[in-house]
Each structure stands twice: as structure tokens, then as C-alpha cells.
Structure 1
């Protein structure tokens, strides 16, 4: 102990000493007061942890403490093979958008290029998004200087072999958690909350990501609970509660003619409550590429407006002309064990493209009934949707049997893909 004290007394660096592999942000100048900026203290602690020689070092945000942190990036790579970021207290964002004037407006807390990262704890990440919501172009299009882009609360950029668990995320300015360019990522046991009328406050968004597992998570926001973007594959979404919000969406995809590659998506054991959509795939009419090998299974709906929907005309303007060669191919999509109530009359809606039909769609064991306030019999709508129906009790299936031409086109697409 004496030797350790003498060493610490002789250290001239600005960083505090630690007798273990835990590095408390309080020891690096963080202030337990949401009116004082603790950003530099968090960066100081991160620098020590990222360059630590100890095994499994942990940056600690202590319990019962609240810290104001301005836009910040925790950058790797780091020396340790595994690194921890433990949140037991509260991290609070600046309340005013002006805090981002010299920063990237798309992010608040970002991790970039960190491998073996584990962000976990029982604490809270509070985005304080009210200032951004009040100037959102989505809800205030006539406002001078309204904003279309607002910060994601926690963004992971090129972070592989990473985990996020236990955190309570609230009131992000826009999306709460975003993964971009990540491989092998596990999200577990999150609670994500924002008012249902807030603009673009998705729960979790995936982009250019693969080998991602999302489990045991509850999400209620003003947009998609989970959205799956372009160039994603091998995604498992299991045991999730969604509502309020816009459901779990693959898309939107293909905007501006972008080429889409989305495959091997499993969404299983999900409870939707009061959402505007349930299991949704949405693509822009001018897009290209494919969405294939998708499974939605064991899904329960409580008063959901569009329980099952494919929309290949997302964002289209009525009367607009799209080239026949454009469109995203959607194939090998299974909907199995769907139960509950629909808040809209059309409970199964397959609005597929004439030039890029939906092929190999399977409806298996579906039983949906009108929500208590919906005094209408449920129906199905299928346009250019081909596949098979097994045990579809209610509403009746509208799928068409796969035509010979659709089979040929689908085979050519598989060969090219």
C-alpha cells in the first residue's frame, strides 16, 4: 500500500491512480451535477482504460450520480482484448441543440472502432430530446431552420465482438441505439422509452451490420421499435416487447435507387401492443437488390393497425413513373404463428410490385381478429404476392400460387445473388 501511494504521489499526469481494474469517472474530474460538463473527465477516464495494461479494465459511471456529457466519441482500437463501460448512474445529454454546433449532429455518445467492448449496467442514458423534437421538420415543416437530422443517443461504429445490456435509454433526440458496420454484436435486456408522438425516435437501428442478436428487450417510442437497414445479414430478434411505436421493420430500403442486400433475418417471440405496424417490410419503388430468407414467428398482436405488411411502394407519389427494371426482390419470407387483434380492417397487406413480385411467401398458422373498437370483419389484400398458405384461419389468405414466370424470375434472381 505504501509503495502504491508513493507511486501515485510522483505521477505528474492528469489521470488519477486506481488500485484495481475499475476506473471511476469521478476520479478523473467528473462532477455529479447535470449543470456542469463532465465530457473531458469521461474522455480522460476512457484514455486510461483504452490504454490500460490490466486485463478487462472497466470505466465506471457510479451509482446514484448524474453527469452532463456533451457530444463525445470514445475511440479505439484499445490495448486490452476486452474493455468494459459500466453505467450504474445516469448520463444526461445537453438540453439544447446548440450544444452540437461544433459537433456531428447525428450522434451524442459514440463508440468508434472498439473491439471486445461491453457496455452494461443498471443505469440510465437520458437523451433529453425535447429541444430537438420542438424543431423537427417532421412535425414543424413550416418552421424556419427546422431540423431533419438529430443525434442518436448511443452509436456504435465498426465495433466488433461487442455487447450492450441492462441499460435504460430514454428520450433520445432521434434513434436511441444505432449499429453501423458492426460484426458480432449482442444486445440484451434493454428498456428503451420515448413518448409515442416523438419524431423518428426509433429504438434500435441496424445498418451495414451482421451477426447481431437482440434479446429480452422492451421498446416503446415514436417510431420503429427495431429497424433493419441496408447490407444487414444474420440478424436474430428474440423475446421483444414493442409499443408504442411503428413495429419491427425491415426497411425502408432502396431510397434513391440504392442497391439492397438483406438476408437471414429472424424475428421471433414478439409482443406488439398498440403499434401502427407489426411485422413490416418496406422498400422504395426505385430501389434495387434483394430481401430474402426472413422469418417472423410466434408473434402476438394487441390492437395493432397493420399486423402483417409488405409495402414495395413505400414513399411513392401517386402517378409517378418507375422503370420496370427497378424494384427490390422480396422472397422466402415466412409468417408463422400469428395471433391477436388488428385495429385495421386489412390485417394482411401484401402490396408488392408488378415488376418485382413477392415470391415464396409462406403464411402458416395465422389467427387474427378485430380489435374491440373495430366493428368490421378482417380482410386480406394481396397484390403480386405469390406463395402458400397453411392453417390461415382468419382472415382468409389472398396469396396467389407461384406462376411459372414468377418461378423463372425468382430462379434467375437466386443465381445472380
Structure 2
């Protein structure tokens, strides 16, 4: 149950198989004990429900005192786990969940999902690391997607859960994991502060519903870096109440792009500020750099930048949509957008319209700055920009020309 036991297992595996997965343990377990879910009764055969074993292992790891403690999900096994909330606060300064094997979700038909909109949730855990060395979270989303509820009938599956949720967690990291086929969003960071999401591989079919890669909500100081994300919805979505968010070094596709919003649904008062999206490559996505707000919304989204962006065959490379899912009236109230900067954007658009700024007529899109843009059509033809009610300027070479901005 403690580190010496893990080292013994490692040595045996190394002698038989010559594998080096145990080399990650010293840094993860370092100065504290390691709690292997197998020692708490987990079978890892992909059939037995291992949920309670994971809860027992978490209780022990979270309660361990000292500078650090580690919950270990070992390799060569698939652990069947239902919806689980891992509660904090924990006793140690740093609590690590080290996933080397596979954690597999129970199918949508399981009774365990009743009333749950999450699969694995970490709640009020400060100093949390969820990391892996080949570890996989398999959400088995295909058991949800084909029978999604569209009305109140009893013959469909209710709202699908998000795979991994960090709620009210501070000083946290999610890294070096693969998340595949989440029933809904893959990773959600909610009401959290100082969070790093890095070196992830996130995959789901391009037609899978609402499978956002990383969603951020009411959180600040969040960094999403160095990851490959291909899903059926936004690769990254930045929701209301977010501040100081960085998205850097992402490959996105398929998917709906990197989106700020949607904001202001049902007239809500919402805000987003200080968002920096840079060094992103969009490949065969529906959208690229997108800001979306609902008609009638209130509040603001400001100080947002998109820098060093590449597009390959993207349907809508650059888009501001203040009429998201509701064309409404052109002069309705809207979330005020200001100080939005686009710098060094290049690549190809699958559609003729490569830049689309569609803003409310009440002057809610101001200080839109566009610098150095070169977007051509995938077939080699010229592209165009569509622009309504946006106020701002362009600098340097900008193609296509944006008619409502000052050159």
C-alpha cells in the first residue's frame, strides 16, 4: 500500500517485461506514500465495478499527511468506474492521481448515472495533480450519443456527463493524459484558480455532440498548453466569469474551434477578460477564432487576443457572432466586446467568407484591431470579409480586406 510495496511490484514487472513505467514513481510519490487502487480491491478486468475501491484509495491518499501523497492507477489494466466525486480538502500539500492504466466509464445504461452530470469530479482539492504516463480516460461516449434526449419522453438517455471535472480546485494541474470519447465535455474547469492543463490528447468523433475538449467556467489564471484536441464541439471553450486565460500551442481539429462564449443567454449579465489565444493550428474545423454572444445579453468581454494562428481548410476562420443561435433584432442589447486583437493570422478557408464580424447595431463591438492577416481559399480563389457594426482598425497587410474597419 505504501511506496516500498509499489517498488517491489515495479521490480518484478521490470524483470519480466523490461518495461520502464515505474520510473515515473519517484517523482510522483517522492516524499509521500503511494496508494495503489489494486490494494484497495480494484480488479482492473474491465468487467468488475471498481468504483468503491477507487473511493477507498482516494480517502486514504487524501487523508495522508505530509508534503505529498499519490493515488496510483497501475498499467496493463482497465478499471471500470462509475460517477465518482473525490472530495477535498486533503491533508497533504500536493495530492497526485497518477494514471498509467485505463479508467473506463460505465455505459449509459447503468443506474449509477441517475442525477449525475459528471464522471470523475475533484471538488475543493487544492494542490491537485492528475497526470499519466500513457494513462487513458475512456468515457465510452458511443453509449450516449445515439440516444440523446431531445424532449421529455422516457425512452431516451438524460444529459450526458462530463468526463473530468475540477470544481473549486486551486493550484491544480492536469497533464500527460489521453481522454477519449467523453459522453459530453472532456474536461471542465469550474470556479477554480491557477490551473494548468498541458500535454493532453483529447479525441472524439467529429459528429459527437457537445464533446468540448476543455471548458472553462468562472475561473481565473488557467493555462491550456501543448495539447492535441479533436472533438465534435469546441476544442476549447471559455465561458462566463473567466479572467486571465491562456491557450498556447494547441492543434485543434476536428471541432468547432477555440470559442469565447457563448455569453449572455436569456439576457444574463456576464463577463470575460484577459484571454490570450496563441500558436494554435486549426485543421478542418468548423470555426477557428470565435467569439459568440446571445442577443439581449449584458456585460462585457474585453482584452482578448488571437496571435500566430494557422488555418488549414477551416469553414469559418475568424468570426464574431453576436446573434448566436438567434438572429433576433439587429439593435438588441448585447454583451459589449472591446479591445479584441487579431495578429498574424494565416492559412486557408474552405468558404469564400474567411472573416465574419456580425455585431449588434448598438455599438457593442469596439476597438477591434486586425494586424497582418493572409487567408486564402482552399481552392486558391480569393476570400472576402463580411462586416456589420464592428468598429476598429487594421494595420499592415490584411487579406481579405475588412470593409467596416479603418485601414
Same fold by TM (over 0.5)? yes
Instruction: Indicate yes or no: 2:242 matched with 1:235.
Output: no
Matched residue of 1:199: which SS? coil
Is the 2:32–2:70 contact (alpha carbons within 8 Å) kept by the matching residues of 1? no
When residues 379 and 181 of structure 1 are mapped into structure 2, their CA distance, relative to the original with a 3 A threshold, is same
Is 1:377 aligned to residue 382 of structure 2?
yes
Q: How many residues align?
A: 378
Partner of 1:344: 351
State the 1:358 CA deviation.
Answer: 0.8
Q: How big is the alpha-carbon RMSD for the aligned residues of Structure 1 and Structure 2?
A: 2.0
Classify 1:101/1:204 alpha carbon distance in 2 versus 1 (closer, same or farther; 3 Å): closer
Q: What TM-score, normalized to structure 1?
A: 0.87
2:281 matched to which residue of 1?
271
> What are the within-5 Å matches in structure 2 for residues 89-168 of structure 1?
89-104=101-116, 106-122=117-133, 123-137=135-149, 145-147=155-157, 149-168=159-178
Deviation at 1:101, TM superposition (A): 4.4
Counterpart of 2:55 in 1: which secondary structure?
helix
For residues 217 and 363 of structure 1, the distance between their equivalents in structure 2, rounded to whole angstroms, comes to: 26
Correspondence list, 1:4-403, <5 A: 21-104=33-116, 106-122=117-133, 123-137=135-149, 145-147=155-157, 149-317=159-327, 320-321=328-329, 324=332, 326-372=333-379, 376-401=381-406
Deviation string for 1:371-417 (max 9, x for gaps)?
Answer: 03xx7521111100111101234211223349xxxxxxxxxxxxxxx
Q: Secondary structure of 1:278's match?
A: strand
Alpha-carbon offset, residue 147 of structure 1: 4.7
Distance in 2 of aligned mates of 1:101 and 1:239: 35
- TM-score norm. by structure 2 comes to 0.89
Contact 1:286 1:322 in 2 (8 A): no
The aligned residue for residue 15 of structure 2 is none
Instruction: Report the alpha carbon displacement of residue 133 of structure 1 after superposing the two structures with TM.
Output: 0.1
TM-superposed deviation, 1:141: 6.7
Change in Cα spacing, 1:166 to 1:210, as seen in structure 2 (3 Å) is: same
Is the 8 Å Cα contact of residues 83 and 113 (structure 2) preserved in structure 1? Answer: no
CA distance change for structure 1 residues 359 and 206 in 2, over 3 Å: closer, same or farther?
Answer: same
Secondary structure of 1:303 counterpart: strand
Aligned partners of 2:153, 2:399: CA distance in 1, in Å? 46
SS in 2 for 1:388: strand
Q: Distance in 2 between matches of 1:265 and 1:351?
A: 20
- Aligned to 1:256, what secondary structure does the other structure show? helix
* Distance across 2 between alignment mates of 1:249 and 1:20: 40
